Structure 1
Amino acid sequence: MAAAAALDVWEAAAPRRRRSRARPRQKAAAAPSAKEELGADPGVVLRRLREAEEDLLLSDFWSSALETVKGCLRKIREQLEAPAGTLSEALGRLCLASPPDGSAPADRPAPDACQVKCVCYGLGNFATCVIARSQLAFLLLLLEKCQIPRSHCWVYDPLFSQLEIAVLSSLGVTVLRENEEGKRSVAGEPTLFYMLHCGTALYNNLLWRNWSVDALSRMLVVGNSFKGLEERLLTRTLQRSYPYIAKILKGLEELELAQSTQYVDTFNDTSVHWFPRQKLQQLPAETWVFREEPDYQDCEDLEIIRNKPPEPAGVS
């Protein structure tokens, strides 16, 4: 019961019914009981995961969603490879960067060497929950089809069991040990954030941590519809509690994933968001001045699990 209650706090599911108010999805009720955990077997989990992948591959939803994600990644790569500034500036940089013999600089990677990373938050207890298992299957297929090595994928959920951590490790992804609360920098590399049905504060934290034109233009976010958040929340609530989401709404492109009766509770209210550099540069200059870290002290119904500060030495 404690795990189920905690999962309610972490996840803010938002079934889409004409942009109706979000309600918790049924995934929370599927948190593993002690009996289920004792009887669980990694082989069984992996087999069920493969079955979930096979079901996805046979669905129309998968092919449509894959093309949407790949199309956005392609646009991000294109804008990162495009020269910034005027043509004369670009030619000047090219002349300065090229050795006399015309060969490529040894310390400058080729454009296609820019490898995409992936970060996944809030996956849930996939060992016992069908919805979470389908979402993990989608992630694994996405890594494969977008040619993102599993070693370049980091996952975290505060409620992962030891069994689930072991399964994820065997799949080749890295399980983060610390609750980052979504505050992860892209560190200058194109990064896909896979955050289905996460709390609104998690998206706000992610934007804060990467609050610059350069960083945001390298991000792709697959998660709750930002347009849906705008429509469901009062304007003053959005601006006060989640200011970075409120400020970025005019600087992004959002593509809603097609609705599917087969996956109505799995990928509902899910969109793909990317941030065109040109749109970001057109935002008012004052947009980028405010960079205070969110604290949510006055925020009601916070939908994420906070990172516990370390206890002072000597405190038991």
Structure 2
Amino acid sequence: MAERGWRAAGGRRRRGAEAAEGHDAVLRRLREARDDLLSSGFWEASAGAVRASVRASAEPPVRCVCYGLGRFGGCPAARCQLAFLLLLLDELRVPPGRCSLFDPAFSAREAAVLQRLGLRLLPDNEEGKHGIEGSATLFYMVHCGKALYNNLLWRNWSAATLSKMVIIGNSFRGMEERLLSRILERDYSYIAKVLKGTEEVALPSHPRYLDTFNDTSIHWFPLQKLQGLAPEVWDCVEEPTYQHCEDLEIIRKDRAEGSAAAAAS
């Protein structure tokens, strides 16, 4: 398709060739990031932790959702996180076409690269409110805002559904340790309520990736632990509003639409 497009008017040919070269450069740097992950030993150690966690969860993931990846075209850390995601999909045998991504910061070039990799782009900013609809799902959410995790839990708030989820992202234990309990319970009540039903394993520490994957853990929710929570835990299913939250850390849907338009222009 691209070659046919280059046969059009000269200006279109040049623009098409420049775009393809830009995509190829990003893909080349992405392959280099993957090779670094493999040669460092970090991926091998991380893959072992992922395999153990997935075996302990109710079902192996058959699909993946990624939030907050960032501008991987120019940011080495984001590019490394994308390379890790691609290795993860291969490890779990999740086809790229069953992995959906969203970040309002993606440029048109980055969106095109993701599509060339066979990945899907979510059309709208869900604010993390993605229902798994009965399919065992891995959520890859490295360095995302707390509200995104809270919204995700709210959207899937039942023991049967949560037990089919694995989340790779900011440590829930870390959130509990760093936040005053009254703030955690007021602003991020679903994180607070699920803590006792969560199993968590930190990704291994590696000097090369301290900033890229710091505070990152694998979380899963064993059905037996969830069923052991107090019955009233499941009674409140009110959608989070964050009226009293001073630092929300996520981009709301209306702002994301404006950001996406600016990135595309």
Q: TM-score range by the shorter chain?
A: 0.7 to 0.9
Post-superposition offset of 1:59: 1.7
CA distance in 2, matches of 1:115, 1:183: 18
CA distance in 1, matches of 2:198, 2:188: 16
Task: Indicate the residue corresponding to 1:122 in structure 2.
Answer: 68
CA distance in 2, matches of 1:147, 1:70: 12
Greater Rg by CA: 1
Post-superposition offset of 1:115: 5.9
Task: Indicate the residue corresponding to 2:261 in structure 1.
Answer: none
CA distance in 2, matches of 1:67, 1:266: 19
Q: Tell me, what secondary structure is at the counterpart of 2:154?
A: helix
- Establish whether residue 68 from structure 1 lines up as the match of residue 84 from structure 2: no
Matching residue within 168, 171, 188 for 1:222: 168
- Establish whether residue 55 from structure 1 lines up as the match of residue 36 from structure 2: yes
Matches within 5 A, 1:1-316: 41-76=22-57, 79-80=58-59, 116-308=62-254
Post-superposition offset of 1:39: 11
Q: Tell me, what secondary structure is at the counterpart of 1:119?
A: strand
CA distance in 2, matches of 1:177, 1:40: 26
Structure 1 runs of 4+ off > 2 angstroms? 37-40
Q: What count of residue pairs does the alignment treat as equivalent?
A: 240
Q: Which consecutive unaligned segments of at least 5 residues does structure 1 have?
A: 1-36, 81-113, 312-316
- Sequence identity percentage: 57
- Could you tell me the TM-score, scaled by structure 1's length? 0.73
CA distance in 1, matches of 2:21, 2:180: 44
CA distance in 2, matches of 1:169, 1:140: 13
Q: Tell me, what secondary structure is at the counterpart of 2:151?
A: helix
Post-superposition offset of 1:38: 8.9
**1:44-94 per-position Cα deviation (integer Å, ceiling 9, x unaligned):** 000000000001011222111111112211222xx35xxxxxxxxxxxxxx
Task: Indicate the residue corresponding to 2:10 in structure 1.
Answer: none
- Could you tell me the TM-score, scaled by structure 2's length? 0.87
Q: What amino acid is the match of 1:259?
A: S
